[in-house]
Chain A
Amino acid sequence: MNEASPSNESLRVFADYDRDFVEEADVVVVGSGPSGSVVTQQLAEAGHRVILVEEGPPFTPSEFVQDSNLTMARTLREAGLRSPIGTFMPILQAICLGGGSLVNSAMCLRPPPFVFDDWCSRFELSQTTRDDLEPHFDAVAKFLGIAPTPDDVQGKRNLLFRDGCRELGYSSEPCERNVQGCRGSGECFSGCRSRAKQSMDITYIPEAMRCGARVLTSLQVNRVLGAGRRVWGVEGRVVEPFTGRPGAHFRIHARVVVLAAGCMATPVLLMRSGGLANESGQVGQNLQMHPGSTVAGRYPDFVDPLFGGTQSYQSLQFLREGFKLETMWSPPAAQAVRTPGLGEDLVDRLSNFNRTVVWDGIVGANRSLGRVSARFDSMDPVIRWRLHPEDAGILVRAIHELCRIHFAAGADRVFPGIAGLPEHFDSVEEADVLRDASVAPGDLTVASSHLFCTTRMHGDAKQGVVDEWGKCYGLDNLYIADTGIFPACPSVNPMFTALALAHRQAHALKDRV
């Protein structure tokens, strides 16, 4: 390594492992997404010897590719082709240092107080109100520089959303994001080449390393080691980046184990460790998501859709009714995937893509439940989840509102993307068929990257996997810190909540280690 560089002695990457090995630490954290990174940094700062283990590799800007298929193959689990049994849809989850924060749109929202009040009353929680979490939200916001997206990088496609909302009298606001100095490239999904997005790999993780944490990448944890009420570490294999080919074995002994492998991998890990932490029978159950659908609008003039923060404007007008509306962008080809038609119709629509703007609605689908189970031959989960007809109805309502906002903003044609209904509407009156349309869940085109609840927290040990501090019931030193511990949908984009909960958990853990 060049002498002018800061020390990366505490980092290990795939090429650094040439044999089986054993390590020791006070705390081992599994998974470097938002939750695992915060816990690692906070505990390292408090003076504990922490090892952060991550299955994916670290990326630098030269490794970001603009092609969407290749991006997904390199940064997402199962190359972005993961889908539940039940309702077919892509489920996007990252595999890289920084987890979802490397590829996400960086939207940071504090759920409104009613979400936490609902959590507290339905899940017997007493210390998880919005007020309880406020200091943790504040601390994370300060560290990551979370702020509203400024006007100069909104671009036309985000501002059209604002204009449409204003026209209809709906509330709208610029999204707060963990971004500093956004240039408006709209390419958050394939990695921020401008390093404006403050993803975990360039914020909490380097800071943790500075405080003495060790970061071991390309290691897949296969099992938590333990007996009785105590665990004493984890073990697994080295895995090659992108191919996942297994190599040397490793074991890490620690006094405390924190699982932050994400809402799908954490329950699988527990199941493959002899059914750990499952006295309640809730491990892998209660899977919830925010399914989302997009609506494209065609405008009379060039809208320069390439320019603007990826997802920089939103409306919380309908949050209490169960949905949230927001702008969105990804590379043009990825956006175009949902363009209806084939042959001449299709190319004609594609040729209008520079006049096309895409927005999306996500639903807090509290009635649509699923579960995650383990396969015998791999760490990939079997996911069962079905969109409930009532939640599908809310999604149709969200699509209808997006159509209305497009027309209010000046669109001349809108594409609702629902099978069995007209491919496009040319007026708001035409779009009103959505009011009474009977749409089956299978007619909707949905996707999700917000997943929760598979190791939910609950005040009652018989009904949840962890307590309010993320400690597994029935075990003295096993903790979970990822979106799996959410007791229900947060109704808004989940990363900020995951960060705040992990921050609070780390504070409690500091004294317990």
Chain B
Amino acid sequence: MLLGVTIVVLFLIFVGVLIKRAWWGYPPSAGQLLGRGESALVKAAGEAMFPPHPGLAVDGGQAELARYADTYLQALGTSQRRLIRAMFLLFEQGPLLFPARGVGGFRRFSSLTPSQRLAYLEDWAQSRMLLRRVALSALKAVLILGYFGHDENLRALGLEAWEIEPVICEADLLYPPIGEPRSAVRWTRSDLNVETPRKPLRPFTKPAAERG
């Protein structure tokens, strides 16, 4: 009898610890669609992947990756959204199935220490199992697009997107903005601005060897 009660109590404690480690105590999410756990995962993985660097303006913690991931989720259709969320879940709760290296490795990803997080991601990147490598590449792809697409980082490297005044050609007078009826075409002939020839975005200088 006593043994039975002890087993039940221990089991309940285990379940309690598991629930606490998996779902308890998340800070509020940074987005509309992104759940608290997803938001914490994105932030924690971003911090691990992109530490501060003198050549780049913002690091993974400052790049507002959770907000970025939220915008991305909003743009996806239902089945792709499910896929991305499953991947977030896999990484966030992964250490409860395959604990991270070191003391305290049996807890959700976002509660691991910074060095444990990096080591955990590196394990996935180096895995001989294609599926783990693919999952890591997918997580890295979503985060890198947010981190390296950040205006300030691109500006720091002289790679910010071109400021291009959209050119309106004859065909654009046929198409309304997406979602609006065809009567809502934005432009008229007076908006046509196709220059001929259009100017290259950088002036051209022939290499010395090819001049003359």
Q: Which of B139-195 contact A (CB under 8 A)?
A: 140-142, 144-149, 153-154, 157-159, 161-162, 164, 166-190, 194-195
- Residue among A1, A203, A445 facing the most chain B CB atoms (10 A cut-off): A1
One of A54-62, A320-328, A459-467, A484-492 contacting the partner: A54-62
Instruction: Report the minimum CB–CB distance from A446 to chain B (whole Å).
Output: 12
Q: Which of B105-144 contact A (CB under 8 A)?
A: 118, 121-122, 125, 130, 133-134, 137, 140-142, 144
Task: Please tell me if the beta carbons of A351 and B56 are within 8 angstroms of each other in the complex.
Answer: yes
Interface of B is mostly: loop
Q: Is B3 an interface residue (CB 8 A)?
A: no
Task: Please tell me if the beta carbons of B171 and A194 are within 8 angstroms of each other in the complex.
Answer: no
Q: How many angstroms from the CA of A58 to the CA of B179 in the assembled complex?
A: 10
Task: Give me the interface of B with A, judged by CB distance under 8 Å.
Answer: 48-56, 59, 71-72, 75-77, 79-80, 83, 118, 121-122, 125, 130, 133-134, 137, 140-142, 144-149, 153-154, 157-159, 161-162, 164, 166-190, 194-202, 204, 206-207
Pick the 5 closest A-B CB pairs, nearest first: A351-B55, A61-B166, A181-B198, A333-B149, A152-B204
Residues of A within 8 A of B169 (CB): 195, 202
Task: Please tell me if the beta carbons of A353 and B134 are within 8 angstroms of each other in the complex.
Answer: no
Given A184-B202, A185-B201, the answer on whether A339 and B144 have CB atoms closer than 8 Å is: yes
One of A32-40, A65-73, A110-118 contacting the partner: A65-73
Task: Please tell me if the beta carbons of A348 and B162 are within 8 angstroms of each other in the complex.
Answer: no
When C-beta atoms are compared, the residue in chain B nearest to A78 turns out to be B80
When C-beta atoms are compared, the residue in chain A nearest to B156 turns out to be A351
Interface residue tally on A, bucketed by range = 35 or more
When C-beta atoms are compared, the residue in chain A nearest to B174 turns out to be A8
A-B contacts, 13 listed (Cβ < 8 Å): A4-B188, A5-B174, A8-B182, A12-B182, A14-B179, A15-B182, A60-B172, A61-B172, A69-B142, A193-B164, A337-B141, A342-B125, A342-B140
Partner of A79, one of B51, B76, B137, B166: B76
Q: How many angstroms from the CA of A182 to the CA of B167 in the assembled complex?
A: 12
Partner of B80, one of A14, A81, A306, A337: A81
B-facing mask of A1-44, CB < 8 A → 1, else 0? 11011101001111110000000000000000000000000000
When C-beta atoms are compared, the residue in chain B nearest to A65 turns out to be B75
Instruction: Report the minimum CB–CB distance from B133 to chain A (whole Å).
Output: 7
Given A6-B170, A16-B181, the answer on whether A243 and B164 have CB atoms closer than 8 Å is: no
When C-beta atoms are compared, the residue in chain A nearest to B161 turns out to be A66
Residues of B within 8 A of A109 (CB): none
